[in-house]
């Protein structure tokens, strides 16, 4: 089955800096890669996603890049703000069904 | 608000007991997923239903079972509960059974004592 590795497990940045979280996946059949943000005690919320026919996608301060050959994808957050502090999860899903395999999560802390 | 409703929000029960968690998907969504989130295991996929039928199975214990009803709500049944079953249980729904956007409910926090 699919295996998703996520790094780093914790990331601490100063407000205004950029943050990058990286994930690798194992199943070459995966073609949908969402990123979720989870605040303490709350539900995971989809913040951005990318499909395998696209190499990069941006939404304001957030961007995701995908390298299918290397089987890795990354989340980039620019001009970080304290409210970006949360746990971020990457996930991968194969073409045949919608099951998401999640990475272990990255605790992002943005210091004012 | 994602539109996915889970009840109850909190549940405290004793070892050996049986509980039922309920999920109502977003209007129009046919697919329901159940995930377990614990500190040491992260977010683990348990099971997926699509339009009343089981579509995919993950790391779901034999003590656990689920179903999706004709009105598309789903229930996750957990029996012979153990301390290690304490976790957040999330339901998510999506339009289709393929890899489309999944929206999560607020979760049910289960504590087994």
Q: What is the pLDDT of residues B50-103, one digit of tens each?
A: 999 999 898 899 999 999 999 999 999 999 999 999 999 999 999 887 767 889
Is there a contact between B97 and A98 if contact means CB atoms under 8 Å apart?
yes
Strand partners, B26: none
User: pLDDT tens across B12-30, in order?
Assistant: 999 999 999 999 999 999 9
User: pLDDT tens across A28-78, in order?
Assistant: 989 899 999 999 889 999 999 998 888 999 999 999 999 999 999 999 999
pLDDT above 70 as % of chain A: 97
CA B56, B62, B65: angle at the middle one, nearest 5?
Answer: 60
* CA atoms B52, B54, B55, B59: torsion sign: positive
Is there a contact between A98 and B90 if contact means CB atoms under 8 Å apart?
no
Is there a contact between A98 and B45 if contact means CB atoms under 8 Å apart?
no
- The answer to whether B83 and A24 are in contact (CB under 8 A) is no
pLDDT above 90 as % of chain A: 79
Is there a contact between A43 and B104 if contact means CB atoms under 8 Å apart?
yes
Nearest to B43 among A42, A46, A102 (CB): A102
Question: What is the chain A residue with the closest CA to B58?
Answer: A99
C-alpha span between A57 and A53 (Å, rounded): 11
**Structure tokens, A71:** 């089987």
**CA–CA min distance A30, chain B (Å):** 9
Is there a contact between B99 and A103 if contact means CB atoms under 8 Å apart?
no
Question: What is the chain B residue with the closest CA to A35?
Answer: B101
Q: Count of CB contacts below 8 A, A vs B?
A: 65
Nearest to A55 by CA among A82, A33, A77: A33
């Amino acid at each position: 089955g699919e295996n998703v590795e996520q790094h780093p497990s914790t990331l601490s940045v100063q407000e205004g800096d950029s943050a990058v979280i990286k994930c690798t996946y194992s199943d070459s059949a995966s073609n949908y890669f969402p990123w979720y943000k989870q605040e303490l005690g709350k539900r995971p919320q989809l913040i951005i996603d990318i499909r395998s026919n696209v190499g990069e996608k941006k939404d304001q301060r957030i961007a995701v890049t995908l390298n299918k050959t290397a089987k890795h994808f990354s989340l980039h957050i620019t001009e970080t703000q304290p409210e970006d502090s949360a746990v971020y999860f990457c996930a991968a899903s194969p073409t045949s069904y919608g099951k998401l395999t999640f990475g272990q999560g990255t605790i992002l802390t943005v210091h004012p | 608000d994602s539109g996915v409703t889970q009840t109850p929000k909190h549940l405290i029960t004793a070892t050996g007991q049986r509980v039922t968690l309920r999920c109502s998907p977003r209007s129009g969504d046919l697919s329901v997923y159940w995930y377990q989130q614990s500190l040491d295991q992260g977010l683990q996929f348990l099971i997926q239903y699509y339009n009343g039928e089981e579509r995919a199975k993950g790391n779901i214990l034999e003590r656990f079972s689920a179903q999706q009803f004709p009105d598309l709500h789903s229930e996750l049944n957990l029996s012979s509960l153990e301390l290690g079953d304490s976790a957040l249980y999330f339901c998510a729904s999506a339009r289709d059974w393929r890899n489309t956007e999944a929206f999560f409910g607020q979760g049910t926090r289960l504590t087994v004592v």
